[in-house]
Structure 1
């Protein structure tokens, strides 16, 4: 199996545009060059740990949301068939056109592209897996009808989890840590019945609880790669200590532009999937070693 990461580097003209989360609303203007360095560092960390990055450069500086590739779509593996690529249906108008560029790449990868067709559904940012179960989230930006339309494409057991602001996506409310058999949850931003559902399905002893204050500093937004967690430097020290006690190694990732200003952390910058390598084709021009040359030339 291949651990695939769809990503999109910030362009030379990258800036904050939508300002639709609690970080970006009041942030100072972003430094595009710094954001490009941060993105490349993360991508290299991923590949150093066995991941395969497929990087789609943005075709336009106007598409400033593309680096936050958790909303680019969702890859769904299917036994004996080409994986599906479920297109997003975004809330923010300035991000509508992104899928017009991700869909052709998905087809080149050999994926079958599907549009859920209804509601708002923000894709990988509202999907998680733990213990063989798919968690689908709604209530932040994704709507219930959008979730229901997307759910038809997910095989196996699915749990619906309702979240609220400031968790605008499920990946702020819940973080699976399969290497240590724990699920990090923030009950403060989840419907009580959703918390009860997770306790019932997985067992309360496997849930690690954090607070709303913690998730505002990205306690749930590190990117787990085996026993390593690529985490923003703004993660609270007591959360870092909690993860280390569980047996994880927290790798600190300074991301002042993409995280502290842009509002999206390491987990928000990828759409991740485990796929049968024989079922996908990797366009060479979108491999990290090729795309990195442009970013390195701009490092200055």
Structure 2
């Protein structure tokens, strides 16, 4: 099962933290339009075989919940239920989100674990490529937070240090497994970490983009097979390079969630490949149920 944990914006969704380069100066959002943008992305995911589990926010104060990359990290295990590693968020207004994700993870049959140390912003600082798990720190996640989480990941772990404007690893690196490439932005990766990526994966497999291109969300699209679900602000030059590799960019209008809120399609999901028999999805959290509430606003 290609599992996507998501959380739709509420009817009173607004910008609170304004902790990224887009949201700091953005005008206030249109919550109804944001809900439609969210639903369009979720439906594109399910149209390509993904399974969306949608947890509506229990409070209008939890305005960060739609950016579900920070809801936690699902870690599949052999002969055991998946782990759900809780986040340890930097921003105070997001720190209680995990109190709502943890019960859902338990209902789905997962074992919930708190890394217990430092700041660790979960799926936003996790990627997989060529059998390795990449864990990121230096934006918001701290090194001690990374190390506390790292012991729960089986197999090879590659540690990568990033810097602003890449406040998460998912702005610095994008795995494109379908075309065997790792999109990277050396401008926001520490030199030692970039050297490690070149050594581990080979320079010929690295697709290099610039800081300007990641400010237009080149690395923040969501790859599903050979389709990249990406905000429409991704630049034409990046789309053309991906097309030459055999990737198709599917542009999505994300004026509220991305251009104002600062989070792209990849930021709106916590994704994992799990054995379908190892999890159970409550009917009320399936996309079909949550979509009815959003459509009622139309």
Please give the range of the TM-score, normalised by the shorter of the 2 chains. over 0.9
Distance 2:104 2:199 in 1: 39
Residue deviations 1:46-97, cap 9 Å, x none? Answer: 0000000000000011000000000000000001110000000000000011
Match of 1:298 in 2: 297
Distance 1:38 1:21 in 2: 20
User: How far has the Cα of 1:199 moved from its partner?
Assistant: 0.5
Match of 1:191 in 2: 190
Distance 2:247 2:79 in 1: 34
Match of 1:275 in 2: 274
Alignment root-mean-square deviation, CA: 0.3
User: How far has the Cα of 1:17 moved from its partner?
Assistant: 0.5
Q: How does 1:58-207 map to 2 (within 5 A)?
A: 58-207=57-206
* 3-state SS of paired residue (1:10): coil
Match of 1:9 in 2: 8
User: How far has the Cα of 1:142 moved from its partner?
Assistant: 0.1
Residue deviations 1:185-219, cap 9 Å, x none? Answer: 00000000111101100000000000111100000
> How high is the TM-score relative to the length of structure 2?
1.00
Residue deviations 1:20-47, cap 9 Å, x none? Answer: 0000000000000000000000000000
* 3-state SS of paired residue (2:233): coil
Distance 1:134 1:146 in 2: 16
* 3-state SS of paired residue (1:251): strand
User: How far has the Cα of 1:297 moved from its partner?
Assistant: 0.1
Distance 1:4 1:291 in 2: 16
Match of 1:217 in 2: 216
In structure 2, runs of 5+ residues without a counterpart are: none
User: How far has the Cα of 1:222 moved from its partner?
Assistant: 0.4
Match of 1:231 in 2: 230
Distance 1:52 1:229 in 2: 17
> How high is the TM-score relative to the length of structure 1?
0.99
Residue deviations 1:273-299, cap 9 Å, x none? Answer: 000111001111000000000000012
Paired positions, count: 298
Distance 1:191 1:215 in 2: 16
Distance 2:172 2:248 in 1: 21
* 3-state SS of paired residue (1:50): coil
User: How far has the Cα of 1:148 moved from its partner?
Assistant: 0.2
Distance 2:276 2:230 in 1: 28
User: How far has the Cα of 1:135 moved from its partner?
Assistant: 0.0
